[in-house]
Chain A
Amino acid sequence: MEQLIQQLINGLALGSIYALIALGYTMIYGIIQLINFAHGDIFMVGAFVGYAGMTTLRLNFFASLALAIITCLLLGVLIERVAYKPLRKQTRLAVLITAIGMSFLLEYTMMYFVGPDPRAYPALPDFMRATIKITDNIVITGAQILILAVSITLMIALQLIVRYTRIGKAMRAVSQDPDAARLQGINVDTTISFTFAIGSALAGAAGVLVGVYYNSINPLMGILPGLKAFVAAVLGGIGIIPGALLGGFLIGGVETLVAGYGFSSWKDAVVFAILILILILKPSGLLGKNVKEKV
């Protein structure tokens, strides 16, 4: 029982990281129906910028986090403007292939500059290494609390932006019907760029948090978490913001439980099996509604 609770706590920390990445996937899919394969790599860039902030620039944790968020925000907008915007009228396959290309471009450009070897994140400040013992076998680390706190803060901020600001309203309108939104005087391109900015900023934050949590980063670290976060977004219902949260926590929990009970090498297969099952049983996701096909 105690082990289960401990695993669930670990799963919550991992799940909130997945949720942060999944939010970006789900918002971008919601607004231009694109699986942004480069999203996982923006997360990777975030981890490296945070690393550079803490080592080369000698910034503290929160300043590095902010630096990573801003860099990824700009990178996300840049990628959208350069690679996706010119293809707005093209088929979805063309944009999807471009996204895959961008993903590999980010990975291997980063590898060219920093080398393929993993790097250890700098030593954490004391408050993150502190642990809280609830019982002998249930321990919460400072890093876990920090991850949860940062994730929840960012998610609440996102929810406030989407619900209560003008640009949030525009985002919701464009995701429902871009042409109708344009007719209402909404600048669709700006709104799409803004969505990429927010999604990429969240991914950048997740990158730094993963660096802190796992203490190891490398140029290809974005592939698997990116794919799993996408699974989380599909599981919750793609395009639905609370769905990404739910999916992220579920995937994080399942993965930690599978690994915790001795099937560590199978955990990726379990996550993808969940993906296949959900796609077959309820492609619109746990929180999604079924949409009829129109001719």
Chain B
Amino acid sequence: MSTGEGASLITAPPKPVRNPLPRPAVLGITAAILLVVWGLGWLLISVGVLDAYVMSTLTTICINIILAVSLNLIVGFTGQLSLGHAGFMAIGAYTCALITMPFSSAFPDIEIVGFILGLIGGGLAAGVVGVAIGVPTLRLKGDYLAIATLGLAQIIMVVLQNLEITNGAAGLSGIPSYVDWNWLFLLTAGTILLVSNLLGSAQGRDIVAVREDEIAASAVGVNTTRVKILAFTVGGIFAGIAGGLYASSFYVIQPQQFSFMLSINILVIVVLGGLGSLTGSVLGAIVLGLVSTFLQSYPEIQMILYSLILVLLMLFRPQGLLGNREFSVRALGRILPIRTKKESKA
């Protein structure tokens, strides 16, 4: 019988980095990588490689990266199985749409402000819901929490199907689109950086402590409920932002799009990449994004493949593609000859 209540599919904690790069070099290299990716995107768009079709795949991948990174924070790092991530996303998508649509017709000159407000509103609304549902349900453990989050996402879907303002099952359409590569890049990179910084902080160590052993963590003074609510709230905010991005990218949102199926799709990405690895989530989103593009005309085969991946991964490689390994700029010190006199120990 298994003993672990939580999610430790990861056996060993990450080793400390040998020869870490000094901080200025880390910042410099990070900025350089980001600039190169951003520039490469615009270069490919300007030479026409990224046409509208490829761009929509890229948009999906970016949204999935944000969703997977935020879900990984909850499932992979905090060890709380959530099956309701689509619920947060739905709230973000609807809030963003309901802000941008009237705003763009009321203030056509500064409509981009409406989109920014919509994204912020969507993220905040999802975060507030995260706190509101987190406070009562996070006392639950393991399976019970999973099933409670699933139930809540179902309730959110039913509410969206029945409200007047969300236009019922038909959903909202004609959502103004502002999403271009700048927005995609900014939000995706921003999510990854913020979540990885959170995990590197003292809060982050509390988060991982709760995953490793909740009872031991609370015994050494970690407020486990607070940590779990923090993870749920931050995860919810980013899922909400991903929802806003989705609403503005694809013009139409319907309650049915945010079903249990979507929550599972995000979970597949996280598990494929590796629970507890942000790099893995990014990789998983890219791999599955490409796979589903190739299988677009065969939706049933796509879902059969997804489920097979999930089962086979758990049977033969439960740690996912990357386990809990991360790409880390600091660890590049092992291969790069950059040194300062003051070896930082951070």
Contacts and interface: CB of A to CB of B under 8 A. Distances in A.
Interface of A: 32-33, 35, 83, 86-98, 100-105, 107-109, 111-112, 116, 178-179, 223, 227, 230-231, 234, 265-266, 268-269, 272-273, 275-276, 279-280, 283, 293, 295
A203 B317 CA distance: 31
Interface in B1-34: 1-2, 4-9
Contact of A83 (B1, B260, B315): B315
Contact of B162 (A230, A234, A266): A266
6 contacts: A92-B2, A97-B271, A179-B1, A223-B260, A276-B151, A283-B140
A96 B308 contact: no
B288 to A, nearest CB: 14
A104 B306 contact: yes
Contacts of B309: 101
A283 B144 contact: yes
Contact of B314 (A87, A104, A268, A295): A87
Contacts of B104: none
A272 B144 contact: no
Interface string B303-314: 110111111001
Given A112-B300, A223-B260, A283-B144, A91 B314 contact: no
Interface in B139-185: 139-140, 142-144, 146-148, 150-152, 154-155, 158-159, 161-162
Contacts of A102: 307, 311
A234 B148 CA distance: 11
A116 B298 CA distance: 13
Given A105-B304, A223-B260, A295-B215, A88 B2 contact: yes
Contacts of B4: 91-93
B73 interface: no
A230 B143 CA distance: 12
B154 A100 contact: no
A104 to B, nearest CB: 4
Interface in B200-226: 215
A276 B9 contact: no
Contact of B146 (A35, A98, A179, A276): A35
Interface of B: 1-2, 4-9, 79, 81, 136-137, 139-140, 142-144, 146-148, 150-152, 154-155, 158-159, 161-162, 215, 260, 264, 267, 271, 300-301, 303-304, 306-311, 314-315, 318
Given A108-B300, A273-B151, 15 more contacts: A35-B147, A87-B315, A88-B1, A90-B2, A97-B310, A100-B310, A101-B307, A101-B310, A103-B307, A179-B1, A227-B150, A266-B158, A266-B162, A269-B155, A295-B215
Nearest to B302: A108
A280 B136 CA distance: 7
B314 A101 contact: yes
A179 B158 CA distance: 44
Contact of A275 (B151, B159, B304): B151
Contact of B151 (A96, A105, A179, A272): A272
Contact of A268 (B136, B144, B158, B300): B158
A98 B1 contact: no
A187 to B, nearest CB: 15
Contacts of B8: 91
A105 B148 contact: no
Contacts of A280: 136-137, 139-140
Nearest to A105: B307
Given A104-B310, A108-B304, A111-B300, A94 B136 contact: no
A180 to B, nearest CB: 11
Contacts of A293: 215
